Amino acid sequence: MLNENIKAIRKSKGLSQEELAVKLNVVRQTISKWEQGLSVPDSDMLIFISEALETPVSTLLGGTVVPAEVSDLKAISEKLEIINLQLAQKKTMRRKILHWLLISLCVAIVIISAVLIVLNSPYLSWNYNDPETAVAGSAFHVFEWLFVRLAPVIFVGAAAGIFLTRKKV
């Protein structure tokens, strides 16, 4: 019973005899003898085995361990595959949204630049004696000044982002 349990639990954990032997600081042949029922580990070694296999000693000494059925593993793998597909679809959707947002940003920068070029800074000829006109002219000047300095950097960054988020064939 102990020999069958050690073997079943080791296999269910995906460990080879060699890997378990390394964890327990014994030779592989010792594991083989335990699994064949030719020898039995002492009580201290049973504790080490239970820790290495992450299984209570009572389970090692108890009844026969039934390995996970193939149908259970298949169901789990199918669920994981569905989850992976859903995550991939979300990632693709986020990439598409980001791609189109960056394209929109570039278009907006081009349109605002065109409007500023056509307007040719009309606030420069305004009468700044009126406080409302002075505030509006100053705000327009600040916007234009910041836009002219930041727009090229933002445009280049957005263009690079468009390149990096494009659909890869």
Q: Locate the domains of the chain by residue range.
A: 2-61, 91-164
Q: Which two tokens stand for residue 67?
A: 């390995």
What is the value of pTM for the model shown? 0.51
Q: What distance in Å separates the CA atoms of residue 35 and residue 6, rounded to the nearest whole number? A: 6
2-61 CATH fold: 434 Repressor (Amino-terminal Domain) (1.10.260)
Query: For the segment 51-104, what is each residue's pLDDT rounded down to a tens digit?
Result: 898 888 888 887 655 555 566 777 888 888 899 899 999 999 999 999 999 999
Q: What distance in Å separates the CA atoms of residue 4 and residue 49, rounded to the nearest whole number? A: 14
Higher pLDDT, 151 or 169: 151
Query: For the segment 107-119, what is each residue's pLDDT rounded down to a tens digit?
Result: 999 999 999 999 9
Mean of pLDDT values over 120-140: 89
What is the per-residue burial (b if ≥16 Cβ within 10 Å, else e) of 54-82?
ebeeeebeeeebeeeeeeeeeeeeeeeee
